[in-house]
Amino acid sequence: MKLVRYGAPGAEKPGLIDADGNVRDLSGKIDDVAGAAIAPESLIALSSLDAAALPLVEGNPRLGPCVAGTGKFICIGLNYADHAEESGLAVPPEPVIFMKATSAICGPNDNLVIPRGSEKTDWEVELGVVIGKTAKYVSEEEALDYVAGYCTVHDVSERAFQIEHQGQWTKGKSADTFGPTGPWLVTKDEVADPQNLPMWLKVNGQTMQDGTTGTMVYGVAHLVSYLSRFMSLQPGDIISTGTPPGVGMGQKPPRYLKPGDVVELGIEGLGVQKQTCVADR
């Protein structure tokens, strides 16, 4: 099942994608794609609906972030060995955790706003894991029971803010529009193996990243279990699991985004995003 949120920013409605790729309105069934609506029992009930009987959403509506009510946007750094190598850094002995501000979350095709003073805005295609029920001290064996589904995430990064300024990575990761999510929240029953998903990213039509979740250092189950040792994971929380090689920082010479650039990215089965870069005013 592919769940979506459509409509104007801040006024999105819940929907699902039918067998023909149309958006069907779910607002008569759930308030939003959030909280209790993405709990296991709710997802089972939604999956039993006759999608063709739901109201058809006409036209080509804007798609918002695929999940609402995200309390934590947790990112994993250097989680692909080949990306760590291109960054000139060692593979970490434990997952590297940092937070991205939830105000960075936006729709998958919204403009990517390059912040004032930015010189090194970079791209990163990542697998997003959406939590469906509260997880605390969960084992790796049961970790996926707490996952509602998966989505494509663009973990946009301003490398100068992230690396060259003092402090933690968060300020280089959290500008408005630096967290496009979606287009869909794909429920976990449709993803046979989250560690076997091809992923790619293009800038102005040129392929920059072409990888697979199979080269993650720490897989999804391990990450959910590991994180749940340090904090409870709540419904709607997003874990962005790291990126394969090919980021702008790793190019020779480095290459960064500028106004007018178009970024396209996707993960097999999880949908495609497209953003046009614009300058912040």
User: Tell me: the pLDDT tens digits for 220-278?
Assistant: 999 999 999 999 999 999 999 999 999 999 999 999 999 999 999 999 999 999 999 99
> Of the ranges 1-10, 36-45, 77-86, which one carries the lowest mean pLDDT score?
77-86
Using alpha carbons, select from 175, 188, 156 the residue that is nearest to residue 43: 188
Rounded Cα–Cα distance for residues 191 and 59 (Å): 28
- The reply to whether 193 falls in a domain is yes
pLDDT of residue 164: 87
Mean pLDDT calculated for residue range 31-47? 97
Rounded Cα–Cα distance for residues 2 and 149 (Å): 9
Using alpha carbons, select from 107, 109, 119, 113 the residue that is nearest to residue 278: 113
pLDDT tens-digit map of 51-62: 999 999 999 999
User: What is each CA distance from 37 to 14, 128, 176, 210, in whole angstroms?
Assistant: 10, 18, 26, 34
Sign of CA dihedral 202, 206, 207, 209: negative
Rounded Cα–Cα distance for residues 163 and 73 (Å): 20
**Where do we find the tokens 């999880």?**
270
Structure tokens at 39: 């709990």
- The reply to whether 199 falls in a domain is yes
- The reply to whether 237 falls in a domain is yes
CATH number at residue 93: 3.90.850.10
User: Is the pLDDT assigned to residue 87 strictly greater than 80?
Assistant: no
Task: Give the N- to C-terminal CA distance of the chain in Å, as an integer.
Answer: 39
> Of the ranges 37-51, 63-77, 157-171, which one carries the lowest mean pLDDT score?
157-171
Q: Which residues span the domain enclosing 192?
A: 68-279
- The reply to whether 216 falls in a domain is yes
Q: How many domains does the chain have?
A: 1
Rounded Cα–Cα distance for residues 281 and 268 (Å): 35
pLDDT tens-digit map of 7-27: 999 999 999 999 999 999 999
User: Is the pLDDT assigned to residue 71 strictly greater than 80?
Assistant: yes
User: Is the pLDDT assigned to residue 74 strictly greater than 80?
Assistant: yes
Structure tokens at 115: 């912040």
pLDDT tens-digit map of 184-217: 999 999 999 999 999 999 999 999 999 999 999 9
Q: Which amino acid is at 153?
A: V
**Where do we find the tokens 């003092």?**
166
Mean pLDDT calculated for residue range 96-123? 97
* Alpha-carbon torsion angle 128, 148, 215, 168, nearest 10: 40
Q: pTM for this structure?
A: 0.96
pLDDT of residue 168: 83
- The reply to whether 142 falls in a domain is yes
- The reply to whether 125 falls in a domain is yes
At residue 84 the predicted structure's pLDDT band, cuts being 50, 70 and 90, is confident
Quote the strand ranges of 53-156, DSSP E: 73-77, 96-99, 105-106, 112-114, 121-122, 125-131, 147-154
User: What is each CA distance from 106 to 33, 39, 90, in whole angstroms?
Assistant: 15, 23, 32
- The reply to whether 197 falls in a domain is yes
At residue 78 the predicted structure's pLDDT band, cuts being 50, 70 and 90, is confident
Beta strands at 147-154 and 262-267: parallel, antiparallel or unpaired: unpaired
User: Is the pLDDT assigned to residue 83 strictly greater than 80?
Assistant: no
Backbone angles phi, psi at 173, to 5 degrees: -120, -5
- The reply to whether 5 falls in a domain is no
User: Is the pLDDT assigned to residue 50 strictly greater than 90?
Assistant: yes
